Amino acid sequence: MSAFLIRILVAGVIGLVIGLFTTNARSARTFGLISLGAALVTIISTEFYKEIAGPWFSDPGRLSAQIVSALGFIGTGLIWITEDKQVRGLTVAASLWLTAIVGMLIGAGLGHISTSAVLIVLLIYWATGTASKLLDKGD
């Protein structure tokens, strides 16, 4: 199996796992697709840089930087303020942004960093879920 195929497979699965912890199972596919897409764009960007090497100047960061911009656009569509001035969707938007960055790390071949990041994300979800349950019992 090609290293690229492994990277995109891992990116998709990790995005799906993050999505399952963040939202419902139906919405989790969005997280998987965003992580997969970010990995693909990062792979394209780094491979394009290798192909162009020589007398031409190429910046592999330019294409990958657009992932962050695109997620900003998507994230703004997920955040809203209710009539009673409550902010909603911020956690999902932040989770999507983080999922894209994890996909970028995997696409760049930095799996060890992405693994650490995902473990920390899952720890945050677990800790906040546990704290929320404990606080709800106190009411």
CA separation for the pair 2, 97 (Å, rounded): 27
Which residues form the domain of 40?
A: 3-138
**What global pTM score does this model have?**
0.82
| CB distance 34 to 96 below 8 Å | yes
CA separation for the pair 75, 30 (Å, rounded): 12
Residue-level pLDDT at 68? 86
**Partners of residue 87 on adjacent β-strands:** 81
Residue-level pLDDT at 57? 66
Residue-level pLDDT at 100? 94
pLDDT along the chain (139 residues), means of 10: 89 93 83 94 82 65 86 88 91 91 93 92 90 78
What's the total number of domains in the chain? Answer: 1
